[in-house]
């Protein structure tokens, strides 16, 4: 217990739910320390005032609730989408990209309050423990991290409920009755669903599980056309109306959700080594990825695009595995951001029953598309087609050498 007594103040990433409410009391009892709560509004769509009231009722004196929606999209989501990041070819990293932001503010609150430890409610099986802690150590190297799920024996919902009852911790009625048959995590970029009945990879979730997207079958029978304006790789306006980053994503979620866009059912590889099945809704992000690639197709050099595509899977793994603040991610981000100075213009999209179709793209200042050279009609000598013969013969040289060698060996 000598080690436990060293902790005087701990900042807890607090949601107000069952797990983190139990953690407040558990930290108070087992570490005998002052607990400070930090709750981030990153667009999870829930009223956060109840979390403040619950923390106060549990004796927490320092309570921090911060609106981080604009910072989340501007400093984390937008930079990630400049890279067209997809984990394992499909996942848009909605949970992964939120964790470094929370870790950053946990550390800031710890510094402000003189706390010597931070705590979180991530389990010892998942990715989030890695993301929170790598982020915290990168920003506050000597911080103490307390992860109750790796220490306590409250390893089931029933045990958590008994602990809550024993200590008078208020529990939401739905949670007591079992609530949803899976766990959810929401922010402005997505909603994720995992655990419970979804742990059977063959199980098809009920339609009622999805929260922000309609079924594609029930989406409007007529397509909707939208136009996105880009400046340096980021969306700055929708249909001619300039919006802040968070409002851009909010509006794209609304529009995309109405058309059944952005559902994903995935078995992925967690960083800790096991496979995990998750279902995701990312309507705005799905639109953003398609539109950004369309904008880049017009404004980026062929080899720059190829280099970005080569680097993207590695960049996505850095984010998924929790290395947002690592020197390699920062270095790679500088390269990606440098490529975006010419990604300016507009993209038109058609949204229809779960699909996103690019119908046009334009850039007044940065388009590399030269109609005179690309045309199949008479180009007036802008391109000499006879040049292609030498180009092809030079590129075929190694193939011809190899073929002649095979011929001699016969």
Q: For the chain, what percent of residues have pLDDT higher than 70?
A: 97
pLDDT at 179: 60
Q: Given the residues 52, 69, 99, 290, select the one marked as catalytic.
A: 99
pLDDT greater than 60 at residue 5 = no
What mean pLDDT value characterizes the chain? 95
pLDDT tens, residue by residue, 299-338: 999 999 999 999 999 999 999 999 999 999 999 999 999 9
pLDDT at 46: 83
Residue 146 near residue 12, CB atoms below 8 Å: no
pLDDT tens, residue by residue, 22-56: 999 999 999 999 999 999 999 998 888 889 999 99
pLDDT greater than 50 at residue 21 = yes
Q: Given the residues 15, 19, 82, 234, select the one marked as catalytic.
A: 19
This prediction's pTM: 0.95
Q: Given the residues 144, 157, 172, 183, select the one marked as catalytic.
A: 183
Specify the DSSP element, H or E, that contains 332.
helix 327-339
pLDDT tens, residue by residue, 241-285: 999 999 999 999 999 999 999 999 999 999 999 999 999 999 999
69 catalytic, yes or no? no
For 90-158, the DSSP string reads TB--TTGGGHHHHHHHHHHHHHHHT-SEEE----TTSSHHHHHHHHHHHHSTT-EEE-GGGT-S--SHH
Specify the DSSP element, H or E, that contains 321.
none
99 catalytic, yes or no? yes
pLDDT greater than 80 at residue 131 = yes
Average pLDDT in the 148-171 region?
92
- Would you say how long the chain is, in residues? 410
Per CATH, the homologous superfamily of domain 8-179 is HUPs (3.40.50.620)
The helices-and-strands tally (H runs, E runs) of the chain is 14, 14
**Dist. CA 202–CA 378, nearest whole Å:** 56
Domain ranges of the chain: 8-179, 186-300+342-362
Please give the CATH topology (third level) of the domain spanning 186-300+342-362.
3.90.1260
Look at 180 and 217; give whichever has higher pLDDT. Answer: 217
Q: For the chain, what percent of residues have pLDDT higher than 90?
A: 91
**Dist. CA 85–CA 343, nearest whole Å:** 16
Q: Given the residues 96, 128, 277, 339, select the one marked as catalytic.
A: 128
Specify the DSSP element, H or E, that contains 191.
strand 191-194
**Dist. CA 273–CA 263, nearest whole Å:** 25
């Amino acid at each position: 217990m000598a080690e436990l007594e060293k902790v005087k103040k701990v900042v807890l990433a607090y949601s107000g739910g069952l797990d983190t409410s139990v953690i407040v009391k558990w930290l108070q009892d087992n570490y005998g320390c002052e607990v400070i709560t930090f709750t981030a509004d990153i667009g999870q769509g829930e009223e956060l005032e109840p979390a403040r009231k619950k923390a106060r009722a549990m004796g927490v004196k320092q309570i921090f609730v911060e609106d981080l929606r604009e910072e989340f999209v501007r400093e984390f989501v937008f930079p990630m989408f400049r890279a067209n990041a997809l984990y394992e070819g499909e996942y848009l990293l909605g949970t992964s990209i939120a964790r470094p932001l929370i870790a950053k503010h946990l550390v800031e609150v710890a510094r402000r309050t003189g706390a010597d430890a931070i705590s979180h409610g991530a389990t010892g099986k998942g990715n989030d423990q890695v993301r929170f802690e790598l982020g915290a150590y990168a920003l506050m190297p000597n911080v103490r991290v307390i992860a109750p799920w790796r220490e306590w024996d409250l390893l089931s919902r029933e045990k958590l409920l008994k602990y809550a009852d024993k200590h008078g911790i208020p529990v939401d009625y739905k949670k007591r009755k079992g609530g949803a048959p899976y766990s959810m995590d929401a922010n402005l970029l997505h909603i994720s669903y995992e655990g419970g009945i979804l742990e059977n990879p063959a199980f098809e979730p009920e339609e009622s599980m999805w929260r922000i997207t309609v079924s594609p079958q029930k989406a409007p029978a007529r397509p909707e056309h939208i136009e996105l304006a880009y400046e340096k790789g980021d969306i700055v306006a929708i249909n001619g109306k300039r919006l802040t980053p968070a409002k851009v994503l909010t509006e794209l979620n609304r529009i995309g959700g109405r058309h059944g866009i952005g559902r994903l059912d995935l078995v992925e590889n967690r960083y800790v080594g096991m496979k995990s099945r998750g279902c995701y809704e990312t309507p705005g992000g799905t639109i953003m990825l398609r539109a950004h690639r369309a904008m880049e197709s017009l404004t980026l050099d062929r080899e720059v695009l190829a280099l970005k595509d080569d680097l993207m899977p590695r960049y996505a793994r850095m984010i998924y595995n929790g290395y947002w603040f690592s020197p390699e991610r920062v270095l790679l981000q500088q390269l990606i951001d440098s490529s975006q100075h010419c990604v300016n213009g507009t993209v038109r999209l058609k949204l229809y029953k779960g699909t996103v179709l690019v119908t046009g793209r334009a850039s007044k200042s940065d388009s590399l598309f030269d109609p005179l050279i690309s045309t199949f009609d008479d180009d007036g000598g802008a391109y000499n087609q006879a040049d292609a013969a030498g180009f092809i013969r030079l590129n075929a040289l190694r193939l011809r050498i190899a073929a002649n060698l095979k011929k001699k060996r016969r």
